[in-house]
Structure 1
Amino acid sequence: MRKQTSTLTTYGVAIVRAMALYQLDSKMLFKQAGLDFEAMKNPNARYPDTNLNHLVRLILERINDQAFGLTLAKFISPTTLHALGFSLLASETLLAALQRLQRYYRIVNDAVVINVEKDKTEYRVKLVFVNPVSPPEACLVDALVVLLVDISRRLLDAEFAPLSIDLERAKYDSEKPFFDYFRTAINYGAEQNMLVFDKNAIIKPLPTGNAELAYQNDKVVADYLARFDANRLSERVRTIFIERLVTGKFSEEQIAEQLNLSL
């Protein structure tokens, strides 16, 4: 069964700002994509990814820019990531920041899981899609990869670059904007989207690290996710209940089994 995923409306704010560069009517396109434009006034609200991907496709149909993901990433700020953005900036090492993304990125978007794996002298950061048959639009993946590099440069230095980057997508007509930004080897048509980091670089203690500040923001993220998970479970129970009500065959045990829960 395809999992229904969603993204914070703060990401919509970044998209609107990027759209302004192309002089697009953001309100009209949001409406066409079935998204409530006013929902962005609530930074805790979420947009369904099905609609958000539709919005991105509508944008791409109207612009002649395969580097839209790179443009979009420029408008992603710490507040786009909710309290996680501040936790990342207060991390004591880049590795700690990447591990926070692994634990908490689903507060921003639960369609992608970020896995951090150690491999001898390297760390591999892999992007895993929750719904591999219908992954996010390629430009949204581009934006996430850019975000990971941007966070690394904010914490380390502006010249930092990963050892290499693997992208599942094919090459665009022009990759120059991406080469200019990443300044590292990019492998296209890869099996998985992945960034490879030098171990020594990302375990180095950062002068900007603040464990207390990071901890307090982690708590805000954890509280949000606890509410989010509870609401999602409630919605799943409601959906299953309605489906079984139609067939006339349901029991608490059957619903619990479908939810992978025990009574």
Structure 2
Amino acid sequence: MPRKTETIDLREEFDKIDSELDEIAYEVAKTNAEYDEDETTEQEEATLARELNGLLDRRDQLERELAGVQWAIDQWGAETPTAAETWNEWDKQAWLDQNYETRAQYVRDGRVDDFLDKIEAVETSQNVKDAVESRRSNRIDDDSVTITIGALTTGEFADVQDRTESLRNQMVGMGDDPVVQGAGSIYRTAAGLIDAPPIDADTDLPQKTAVIRETPPHFKEWLEGRVSEFSTPDVDVGNFNERLQRAQEDLETT
């Protein structure tokens, strides 16, 4: 079992990444403006160039992650009724001509979401009225797409390393120095995925690995980063710059 878990709403994650990209765009624009100033010295230009490169690298990473998260939303989001299945116009008599079981099922399936108030006003079946009330409550969560990740334990890390090393041993005859970092990355990511639309908490590592293998690289990159970040203990180990400053002060006084 993981040390701790976190459930991530992918739509909220998308908005978070999208907002950070807006912030980076602003910083890039500001840096470009400063770079174009006539009074800028060569040293200042070099500093601005480094800052700009850092911003652009972060932009590239976030754009990949945004694409990966969007893929998961599109792939794993709740299915909606097709246009042919959805009622586009309200007709009271046509509605009541359906038997009550069919009407209740239409409500539960989301085919008449635009007419719930009208249905409630004319409905004669308590079963259908209950379906309307339930549908109203469930619609709030219809758009959410969530996954759950876990912080890996030492045992889980060891399992990932053992599987990676086993794969390396299998490939020894295929080359002088088999490279299996990519496979190890997939194993780590799969080990940290606890729950998602294609799996559940009882899905074993080989099955989760198969799921991750079928996802786009952009999604795997985002998920691996979140698992790695979540697996790192949230412990304050001090700021190295502060340590360095204290060491320099000690040297100056000796």
TM-score between the two structures when normalised by the length of structure 2: 0.21
Higher strand fraction (1 or 2): 1
Structure showing greater Rg:
2
TM-score between the two structures when normalised by the length of structure 1: 0.21
Higher helix fraction (1 or 2): 2
Higher relative contact order structure (alpha carbons within 8 Å, sequence separation ≥ 6) = 2
